[in-house]
Homo-oligomer: A and B are copies of this chain.
Amino acid sequence: MKTKVAIIGATGYTGVEFLRLLLHHPEVEVTALTSQKYAGLPIGQVFPSLMKTLQITCEELNIEQISKKADLVFTALPHKTAMETVPLFYRSGRRVVDLSADFRLKDASVYERWYQKHTASDLLGESVYGLPELHRDKIRGAKIVGNPGCYPTGALIGLAPLLKSGLVSHEGIVVDSKSGVSGAGRDVVLESLFCEVNEGVKAYKIFAHRHTPEIEQEVSLLAQKKIGITFVPHLIPMDRGILSSIYVQLNRKMKTEELLNAYQECYEGEPFIRIYPKGKLPNTKDVRGSNFCDIGLSVNESGDRAVIVTAIDNLVKGASGEAIQNMNIMLGYPETLGLEVIPLAP
């Protein structure tokens, strides 16, 4: 019998991506979709791409009803709303993978510095940071998984092997990320209009993006020491994809091949990590629509500085795909179930 899942907040870009992926998951059935805006409408009317593939009608969010219909719940709500909703599902015994920022940060005071008052801080101890490549074991038994932000996913997969192995200086780490526009969601704002974004590129929220504390929490865990990073996001005229270029100082001289070996070793057996050979570098286009995180890197001639580049699809490995990967782990399914999607290129 299939596991029943509900998607709360189903009509953003992560919502439609959940459906695209889950409809091919052999062990899961989507039994409920909620949407404040589109309640009452069949999902195929909200997203014509889903016509003739799925016959579910969006409904209003009713915790009791949804809890009856679903064993596991994906919450794709804005932060704050998530914090009010997730505890209700938790108390009704449903496991939750939450895509907001509300259950990612372990320290409520950090959350409150970057966001607002946390009204469910008692549950932060219950929640696990859902980056499978780092926390697979804890995710298995988690009641609440705080699914990582899109930028932190690419940054942390790129940084983890360096920090685990103590290969890099903790000072001066720079993460320069370039994101497609779907990362901003489906909110109707001037900044996301076609003519404002197309044929341009800009940095935004330098030193001020809310994914910064999330990256810093996890790199500090990896380094077993509180460390800071410089993180700057950029907006690129394309639908999907995040490329993160990571700049580090090496603690000892090495060659590109050596560093590649360290990455190969660290990610041995990881189904979604693809490491490029020397001289090749990833392109977000080659992961589009898939749950892959591609990695390429280079060490300079003098052997003391390295650049690591990671590429993900922000809506898949950076959101819905990673959430399904987490669900697979929580439910004891093979981790790749429903996620063996080959990238769409070109």
Q: Residues on A close to B: CB < 8 A?
A: 13, 16, 19-20, 23-24, 47-53, 172, 174, 176, 178, 180-182, 186, 188-190, 192-204, 206-208, 230, 232, 234, 236-241, 243, 245, 247, 249, 274, 276, 280-290, 292, 294, 296, 298-301, 305, 307, 309, 311, 340, 342-346
Cβ of A247: which chain B residues have Cβ within 8 Å of it? 174, 176, 230, 232, 247
Beyond A174-B174, A199-B199, A232-B245, whether A237 also contacts B190 by CB under 8 A is no
Cβ of A188: which chain B residues have Cβ within 8 Å of it? 188-190, 193
Cβ of A282: which chain B residues have Cβ within 8 Å of it? 48, 202
Cβ of A180: which chain B residues have Cβ within 8 Å of it? 199
Cβ of A207: which chain B residues have Cβ within 8 Å of it? 298-301, 307
Task: Judge whether B194 and A286 touch: CB under 8 Å.
Answer: no
CB of A155, distance to nearest CB on chain B (Å): 14
CB of A205, distance to nearest CB on chain B (Å): 9
Task: Judge whether A203 and B307 touch: CB under 8 Å.
Answer: yes
Task: Judge whether A24 and B274 touch: CB under 8 Å.
Answer: no
CB of A191, distance to nearest CB on chain B (Å): 9
Q: Which residue of B lies closest to A243 (CB)?
A: B201
Cβ of A234: which chain B residues have Cβ within 8 Å of it? 178, 243, 245
Task: Judge whether B285 and A206 touch: CB under 8 Å.
Answer: no
CB of A72, distance to nearest CB on chain B (Å): 21
Cβ of A52: which chain B residues have Cβ within 8 Å of it? 274, 292
Q: How far is the CA of A296 from the CA of B232 in the complex (A)?
A: 13
